[in-house]
Amino acid sequence: MDSFDYIVVGAGSAGCVLADRLSESGTKRVLVLEAGGTDRRFWIKAPIGYGMSFYNAAVNWKYTTEPVLGLGHRTSYWPRGKVLGGSSSINAMVYCRGLPTDYDDWHAAGNPGWAWKDVKPVFESFERKVGSDGVAQGHGALFVSNREPEYHPLKHDFLHAARDLQIPLSSDLNGDAPEGLGAYPITTRNGLRCSSADAFLRPALARRNVELRSHAHVHRIIFKDQRAIGVQYSTGPDRALTTVLASGEIVLAAGAINSPQILQLSGIGPPALLREHGINILFANEAVGAGLQDHLGINYTFSSKVPTLNGVLGSWSGRLKAGLQFLLQRRGPLSIGVNQMGGMVRTDATQVRPNVQLYFSPISYSATFVNQRPLLRPDSFPGFIIGFNPCRPHSQGHIRIRSNNPFDAPKIDPNYLNDSHDLADVLEGAQLIARLQQTPSMQALIDAPKDIDLASASLQSIEEDFRQRSGTVYHPCGTCAMRPLAAGGVVDSELRVYGVEGLRVADASIFPNITSANTNAPALMVGHQAARFILSSV
Ligand SMILES: Cc1cc2nc3c(=O)[nH]c(=O)nc-3n(C[C@H](O)[C@H](O)[C@H](O)COP(=O)(O)OP(=O)(O)OC[C@H]3O[C@@H](n4cnc5c(N)ncnc54)[C@H](O)[C@@H]3O)c2cc1C
């Protein structure tokens, strides 16, 4: 049976970091197991290809939640990356660390070493910020690019509208004081997506001590007494089973849905759930799969009096021109994302911290179905989108295995809008968009609101509309939370799984509370922290 020093389960945002850090010395043998396959695909490398990976089963787990009471019993579609790089290969590339106070909250939840002062240098260690002039700051492997000069001219109108309302503007959405609206930096390098696989896994694979097995679907962790000693996985259409051993540690980095699933399948989880599915209980812990948090957001589409990106990406001639520009120069609309402007802001002065995150996209789109395969297509009229989501929802949901079959998708129950605090933020956020919509700068732009006219709608109809149309912003986390065991923790502050030895979890599932913005940056930081803990424990 094969044996390694370390086994990393999942080559996603955090898993790729672990592969890199754990193998750097050249002395430890590291095995990476990933259920998905290659990321060498045009629509992954091309930043605009985000829309093409959205429903593509070749690179995407394509989960669906259980019906959600707060959404009028609707289900919600949850894409997750099933490919090298994980969700960082299919995400919208917005790079935001969140608010410094998010990490002070992590620390206050019983996690020494995770305050902003502790994690800020960790972020800085792996980032390379490339300015719009091409000059780089920092030497990290992750390219975080400022592409503002290439963003659509409508960005000026958006910022003017913000100024009209005296909303602060921000020139650094990742600094010590990131509050305000500005241009989103994105994880691209020379006009191509810079996923975690690009930044961290590829350099690791150049070392002889790292082995990657893709299309390897992990079923469970193998234990001897209470110590994790190996991993069982299957490959190929006949799902042939293999067991690999670890003499050092095993790290679960399978993401916020699959890490708790694998723990439950391995006998660590809520005892009644494990019993129901005939799984021997290794360590009973109600918190495994609980604590699920996510950002729930909504888009408001406006038809525009002036041309938007719809005119470029919605016509053959526009696409041809943009395609050539991308292929020849790695520039233009195909080399950047659609969520171009935004940031974290307060809906009013009484808010202690920014409470909503805004997105401005100079394009509008809807899902169309071509032979039953959904595609995201620009609308036929000139349009743009202003969207938002509350920053720190209080509602918490669950991930629970459906059966003891590792191929059965777990039940995802996000419990959106289960807490009245969240609805209050929703109404505040929508009213802020209404005020933005009414500024002279926006009035000069807007032909008509396409979904609901926030300016004239009652609070009741704003709420109904939100319940009917809102959806995930793709930031599930918190399902293997890092906190003291007695406070509902699954891992301790060095990411060790309670009740067993030799096993850690390192991905977005360990967030003790959701960060105020996008979750890729914090997941990458978690990967770095985990590697540091592991290496310093030997
Ligand atoms: C459509 C979309 C858009 C997003 N946009 C943004 C954005 O613009 N900015 C941002 O910051 N964040 C964004 N996010 C969120 C961000 O990408 C994630 O929070 C982050 O990538 C999570 O990292 P992770 O390491 O926790 O998990 P992942 O990156 O999802 O990695 C988990 C990996 O484990 C593998 N795996 C799972 N189960 C198994 C198994 N049983 N066996 C083997 N391997 C397994 C998966 O295939 C995957 O590769 C977006 C996400 C999505 C899906």
What rounded mean pLDDT belongs to the chain?
96
Quick check: 357 and 343 in contact, CB under 8 A? yes
Q: Domain 1-132+194-293+395-416+475-538 - what CATH class?
A: alpha beta
How open is the CA angle 62-65-66, to the nearest 5 degrees? 145
Confidence band of 513 (pLDDT split at 50, 70, 90): very high
- Pairwise CA distance, residues 45 & 333, whole Å: 14
For the chain, what are the domain ranges?
1-132+194-293+395-416+475-538, 148-184+296-390+419-469
Predicted TM-score (pTM) of the model is 0.97
Is 219 touching ligand 1 by the criterion CB < 6 Å? no
State the pLDDT at residue 98.
Answer: 98
DSSP 109: T
Report pLDDT for 365. 85
Strands, E, within 119-194: which ranges?
127-130, 136-137, 142-145, 180-183, 188-189, 192-193
Q: Tell me if 9 CB under 6 Å of ligand 1.
A: yes
The reply to whether ligand 1 has any atom less than 6 angstroms from the CB of 338 is no
Q: Please give the full DSSP string across 7-31, using - where no structure is assigned.
A: EEE--SHHHHHHHHHHHTTS-S-EE
Residue 516 has pLDDT above 70, yes or no: yes
93 ligand 1 Cβ < 6 A: yes
CA of 200 to the centre of ligand 1 (A): 15
| CA of 140 relative to ligand 1 center, distance in Å | 21
The pLDDT, as a whole number, for residue 49 is 87
Evaluate: CB of 88 within 6 angstroms of ligand 1. Answer: yes
Q: What is the pLDDT of residue 314?
A: 87
Separation of alpha carbons 232 and 219, rounded Å: 6
Ligand 1 touching residue 13 (CB < 6 A)? yes
Supply angle C-alpha 86, 249, 36, rounded to 5: 20
- What's the 520 CA to ligand 1 centre distance in angstroms? 8
Please classify residue 97 by burial: count the beta carbons closer than 10 Å to its beta carbon, then call 0-12 exposed, 13-18 middle and 19+ buried: buried
pLDDT the model gives residue 51: 86
Task: Give residue-wise pLDDT tens across range 98-117.
Answer: 999 999 999 999 999 999 99
Protein residue closest via CA to atom 37 of ligand 1: 254
* pLDDT bucket at 50, cuts 50 / 70 / 90: confident
Q: Is the CB of 59 under 6 A from ligand 1?
A: no
Catalytic-role residue among 107, 152, 475, 528: 475
Whole-number Å distance between alpha carbons of 139 and 535 = 22
Q: Is 479 in the pocket of ligand 1 (CB under 6 A)?
A: no
Q: Would you tell me how many other CB atoms lie within 10 Å of the CB of residue 275? A: 12
Kindly state the average pLDDT of the residues 357-370. 83
- Point out the ligand 1 atom lying closest to the alpha carbon of residue 262: 41
Of ligand 1's listed atoms, the one at least distance from the Cα of 339 is 8
Domain 1-132+194-293+395-416+475-538 matches domain 148-184+296-390+419-469 at the CATH topology level: no
Mean pLDDT value of segment 475-498: 98
Ligand 1 center from residue 88 Cα (angstroms): 6
Contact 358, 369 (CB under 8 A): no
Q: Which residues pair with 368 in a beta bridge?
A: 375
Instruction: For residue 245, list its beta bridge partners.
Output: 3, 230
Q: What angle do CA 113, 114, 118 make, to 5 degrees?
A: 70
Angle, in degrees to the nearest 10, between helices 520-536 and 116-126: 100
Residue 142 has pLDDT above 70, yes or no: yes
* Per-residue pLDDT tens over the stretch 167-196: 999 999 999 999 999 999 999 999 999 999
Question: Which ligand 1 atom is nearest residue 509's CA?
Answer: 26
Q: Which of 67-76, 125-134, 311-320, 439-448 has the lowest mean pLDDT?
A: 311-320
Ligand 1, residues 87, 173, 344, 510: which to mutate, most atoms within 8 A of Cβ? 87
Q: What is the pLDDT, as a whole number, of residue 26?
A: 95
The pLDDT of residue 376: 64
Q: Which CATH architecture has domain 148-184+296-390+419-469?
A: 2-Layer Sandwich (3.30)
Span from the CA of 215 to the centroid of ligand 1 (angstroms): 16
Render pLDDT for 189-201 as a digit per residue (tens, 0 to 9): 999 999 999 999 9
Q: Whose CA is nearest to atom 48 of ligand 1?
A: 86
For ligand 1, atom 31, which residue shows the shortest CA distance? 12
Helix (H) or strand (E) holding 269: strand 268-269
Residue 12 CB less than 6 A away from ligand 1: yes
Residue 475 is among the residues annotated as catalytic for this protein: yes
| Span 202-214, pLDDT tens digits | 999 999 999 999 9
Residue 363 has pLDDT above 70, yes or no: yes
SS3 421: helix
Query: Residue 231: pLDDT above 90?
Result: yes
CA–centroid distance, residue 305 to ligand 1 (Å): 37
Using a 6 Å cutoff on CB, does residue 86 contact ligand 1? yes
Burial of 353 (0-12, 13-18, 19+ CB in 10 A): middle
CA distance 376 to 53: 10
Distance CA 52, CA 246 (A): 37
Q: How many CB atoms lie within 10 A of CB 190?
A: 12
Q: Average pLDDT in the 278-282 region?
A: 98
User: What spacing in Å lies between the alpha carbon of 156 and ligand 1's midpoint?
Assistant: 32
Q: Is the CB of 80 under 6 A from ligand 1?
A: yes
The Å distance, Cα 160 to ligand 1 centre, comes to 35
Stretch 465-491: mean pLDDT? 97
Taking CA atoms only, the protein residue closest to ligand 1 atom 52 is 91
Closest CA relative to residue 508, chosen from 490, 496, 526, 493: 526
Say which range, 312-321, 361-370, 425-434, has the weakest mean pLDDT: 361-370
